[in-house]
A and B are shown apart, each in its own frame.
Chain A
Amino acid sequence: MIAGRVALILLAALVATGPAAAQDKIRTIASFSILGDLVKNVGGDRVEVATLIGPNGNAHVYEPSPADSRRVADATVVFVNGLGFEGWLGRLVRASGTRAEIVVASTGVSPRSSASATRLGDDKTDPHAWQSVANAKRYVSNIRDALIKADPAGAGVYKANATAYQARLDALDREVRDVVAGIAPARRRVITSHNAFGYFQDAYGVAFSAPQGMSSEAEASAQDVARIIAQIRNERISAVFLENVTDARLVTLIARETGTRIGGTLYSDALTDAKGAAPSYIDLIRHNVRQLAAALGS
């Protein structure tokens, strides 16, 4: 009896301490760290952003926790990438019973399908649209519009922030093009561990290949690995790169077998924490393109 009462009181206490704090800000959720950074830049001080998949997390194998579900339930706006990137999100949203607006940040981006569409099951949409800076500008416009809809009073702030940030993205886009222009066209070929750089390839003309296919969840076959090795030998590919979200062992071994240099780490699906090389979206793109230039330029 007493134990039962104590349990009830504890339960009541839990419920009472639930949502509190920061009532004045618009609560938003971003599904992963890169998107979270974009929302922060548009929302500024008026918006509180929580990311479900934090720095160095891998969205392809993410599992939501109950705390995530609660954060989604409390949010006003939930930003997702779309294009099939967050396969788990539908269930999380339904289970949390949230009334938040779900905003697909990639709306309006022209989706690209995988480069190796000849392979069975690979002909799906490539979700990694943010790897092209032009697409990121589109994301920013979508985020701005969604925030204005959720918080009309802040419209001026959001518009100003978005315009300022898009100007920085324009500068970043020019910077990337300048750096790539400095690499000899024949050398613009690299290997990464999973196929995350298709949009970068289309926008800036650096060719990427990967043994693992587009989702880091899939397992490579011996045929895939042999194909990549033959490709490196035949096309004289000059560098292979690691990624922060996947196991480096396979790519490292391919580099060894072909005598190719490991060019460093590219950041594909997640930012690093504040101490890392890519704590924000702009840092991430800048870091990647510098790594590419350093490995391919010489």
Chain B
Amino acid sequence: MLYDSVIAPFVEFEFMRRAFIGTLALAIGAGPVGVFLMLRRMSLMGDAMSHAILPGAAIGFLLSGLSLFAMTAGGLIAGFVVAVLAGLVARTTELKEDASLAAFFLLSLALGVTIVSLRGSNVDLLHFLFGSVLALDNPTLILITAITSLSLVVLALIWRPLVLECVDPSFLRSVSRAGAPAHIAFLALVVMNLVGGFHALGTLLAVGLMMLPAAVARFWARDITAMIVIAVATGIVSGFAGLLLSFHAGVPAGPAIILTAGVLYVGSVIFGRVGGLVRHLLPRRHLEA
């Protein structure tokens, strides 16, 4: 019975196995990135990025037609340019990072719409570019697993300055000059994970599996390492349960996975050990126990 409803769909259908491997890879790569984004108060960067890549995708489209590879490569470049420019402005001027990112992604979006309409084409480029978790072919799977592997290696390399910068940026600045390079490398990781995720799974899943697990983790741990472990686990559980929900209830797969993560999030907001509502409203009882 349990086998039939939980395991059998994955045994019987290859596309289910592929979908699960895809979400697994995304959860492992995007989870840690999401935790750092959240700690830096840049949680909305994912949505900004889904618009910022348009000019790159459009130029890729102009150069080589509806080629997914060219459009994704263009999107990567555009996203990286926007992220780095926003980061540089935030580091060298008074403007905070969220505001400078907002400025640059809007400029980028406007530029993208202009480029698309120059061609006079009404093909909805981004609709075409964004993939679906149910349609993961080999190149796409290799792309996201490669991005995940690279993310983990780079995160390990820039771990110390990155953590320090989240916690105490002025201390880091006084003892080391690794802050800026680490920041740029981190932004590159964000863009890579997001654009790869858009290409493979669509915007909702790529952004959702990055930020919702991070928000869940915030309610259960104080320490960054523990947060990352919880975020990755949340992402994996959401992916697995969401795919089953989509299989049995006929809900579209991307929304099903994100809604599952959303249920975990709401549960964490209420019952979370670190600053959850129950803890917050009934502090005495917990102290007595």
Question: What are the residues of chain B within 8 A of A61 when measuring CB–CB?
Answer: 124, 127
Do residues B135 and A219 form an inter-chain contact, with CB atoms below 8 A? no
In residues 108-136 of chain B, which contact A (Cβ within 8 Å)? 117, 120-124, 127-128, 131-132, 134-136
- Contacts A56-B123, A249-B137; is A222 near B132 (CB within 8 Å)? no
Question: What are the residues of chain B within 8 A of A220 when measuring CB–CB?
Answer: 132, 134, 252-253
Looking at the assembled complex, report how far the CB atom of B229 sits from the nearest CB atom of chain A, in whole angstroms: 28
Do residues B122 and A54 form an inter-chain contact, with CB atoms below 8 A? yes
Pick from A74-82, A140-148, A224-232 the stretch touching chain B. Answer: A224-232
Question: What are the residues of chain A within 8 A of B124 when measuring CB–CB?
Answer: 58, 61-63
In residues 22-75 of chain A, which contact B (Cβ within 8 Å)? 52-54, 56-58, 61-63, 65, 67
In residues 213-242 of chain A, which contact B (Cβ within 8 Å)? 218-226, 229
A284 to B165 alpha-carbon distance, docked (Å): 60
A17 to B63 alpha-carbon distance, docked (Å): 32
A221 to B140 alpha-carbon distance, docked (Å): 19
Question: What are the residues of chain A within 8 A of B246 when measuring CB–CB?
Answer: 221-223
Closest to A61 in B: B124
- Name the prevailing secondary structure of the B interface residues: helix
A153 at interface, CB cutoff 8 A:
no
B13 at interface, CB cutoff 8 A:
yes
Question: What are the residues of chain B within 8 A of A225 when measuring CB–CB?
Answer: 13, 15, 134
Over the window 232-260 of chain A, the binary record of Cβ atoms lying under 8 Å from chain B Cβ atoms (1 yes, 0 no) is 00000000000000010110111011000
Closest to B133 in A: A222
* Size category, A interface: 20 to 34
Question: What are the residues of chain B within 8 A of A67 when measuring CB–CB?
Answer: 117
A61 to B247 alpha-carbon distance, docked (Å): 26
B147 at interface, CB cutoff 8 A:
no
Looking at the assembled complex, report how far the CB atom of A256 sits from the nearest CB atom of chain B, in whole angstroms: 7
Do residues B123 and A57 form an inter-chain contact, with CB atoms below 8 A? yes
Contact of A54 among B120, B136, B251, B256 (CB under 8 A): B120
Closest to B137 in A: A253
Over the window 251-278 of chain B, the binary record of Cβ atoms lying under 8 Å from chain A Cβ atoms (1 yes, 0 no) is 1111110000000000000000000000
Residues of B in contact (CB 8 Å), total 35
Contact of B251 among A221, A229, A249 (CB under 8 A): A221
A119 at interface, CB cutoff 8 A:
yes
Contact of A250 among B134, B250, B252, B255 (CB under 8 A): B134
A229 to B19 alpha-carbon distance, docked (Å): 15
Do residues B250 and A221 form an inter-chain contact, with CB atoms below 8 A? yes
Do residues A219 and B253 form an inter-chain contact, with CB atoms below 8 A? yes
Do residues B19 and A58 form an inter-chain contact, with CB atoms below 8 A? no
B280 at interface, CB cutoff 8 A:
no
Closest to A54 in B: B122
Do residues A253 and B243 form an inter-chain contact, with CB atoms below 8 A? no
Counting chain B CB atoms within 10 Å of each CB, the highest count among A218, A220, A252 belongs to A220
Do residues B122 and A222 form an inter-chain contact, with CB atoms below 8 A? no
B16 at interface, CB cutoff 8 A:
yes
Do residues B132 and A221 form an inter-chain contact, with CB atoms below 8 A? no
Contact of A53 among B13, B122, B128 (CB under 8 A): B122
Counting chain B CB atoms within 10 Å of each CB, the highest count among A52, A53, A220, A223 belongs to A223
Question: What are the residues of chain A within 8 A of B132 when measuring CB–CB?
Answer: 219-220, 247, 249-250
In residues 17-61 of chain B, which contact A (Cβ within 8 Å)? 18-19
4 A-B pairs closest in CB distance: A219-B252, A250-B135, A222-B246, A249-B135
6 further interface pairs, Cβ-Cβ under 8 Å (given A62-B124, A247-B131): A58-B123, A219-B255, A220-B134, A249-B132, A250-B135, A257-B15
Which of B's residues lie within 8 Å of A, judged by CB?
A: 9, 12-16, 18-19, 117, 120-124, 127-128, 131-132, 134-137, 140, 243, 246-256
